Structure 1
């Protein structure tokens, strides 16, 4: 059974291919996302395509959020994988109202543990916690349905 973590891994690979290759966004989507094992499951395919295209379409905005929280660092010095994982998670915070922010953070940490350095999980957790707090203060996090789980749990 394919799950959303595997979908996120595929999206991460697609974004990586787009960053390093010279192919168009649509070509990368067609060759990596649309040929993945989960494409027969409409919900998973839609999630993968939305995450891929939203992350790419809002890249500058997502980079700005990251820059605001990497004190004394140039964003170009971040490991490429870490930067892509951060963008995907922040994209989920802002543009996926049905996904709880806690899920996005946990998934980003797991991706970092698998695809990046030993210290990346803690680094990504710290940046995402700070970004989430800031985005919440600015009223940019709007969660509905399942996405409200974290708020409900936090109020108990």
Structure 2
């Protein structure tokens, strides 16, 4: 993946006189994917990658981006262990990098973002996969995330509150 691919995809080709802060969670998630992808390949300083990649996001969106990036990196081994329990028939290293990153992102949202319903996290990762990964990735991601979510619910590790947050 070209590190500038997400920027190119968002560009309309028209000059932007004044940029208003970006607030879309979808754009923020796509940017998190870009940051994690760059980190995966370079292991450069994360705040530097974030500074290089993130432009014109609102303060709230930047907080979301930073929290998701840092949880995905700090918890990588635990996240991958959860993913591996549901991908026993796959060689983990052969799973497309974009798919692995999206799986990590969604599981982070399950565990560390109490205000985001799990179904929203799954839906968002499916839509991003359709845009940036292989033809089969969205179905693969959906299946893995549904299974991991069931496991986390059974283990009592999902702490969501409010309407639409969790099925009990």
- Do the structures match in fold with TM over 0.5? yes
Aligned 1:5-154 pairs, distance under 5 A: 5-33=26-54, 36-38=55-57, 41-145=58-162, 148-151=163-166, 154=167
Q: How many residue pairs get matched?
A: 147
Measure how far apart 1:29 and its partner are: 2.0
With normalisation by structure 1, the TM-score equals 0.89
Q: For 1:81-133, what per-residue CA distance to the aligned partner results, in whole angstroms no more than 9, with x for missing partners?
A: 00000000001001111100000000000010000011100000000000000
Output the CA distance in 2 between the equivalents of 1:139 and 1:15: 28
Measure how far apart 1:150 and its partner are: 4.0
Output the CA distance in 1 between the equivalents of 2:148 and 2:60: 28
Measure how far apart 1:134 and its partner are: 0.4
CA RMSD of superposed structures (Å): 1.4
Structure 2, gaps ≥5 residues long = 1-21
The structure 1 segments of at least 4 consecutive aligned residues displaced by more than 4 Å after TM superposition are none
Bigger helix share? 1
Q: Which has the larger radius of gyration?
A: 2
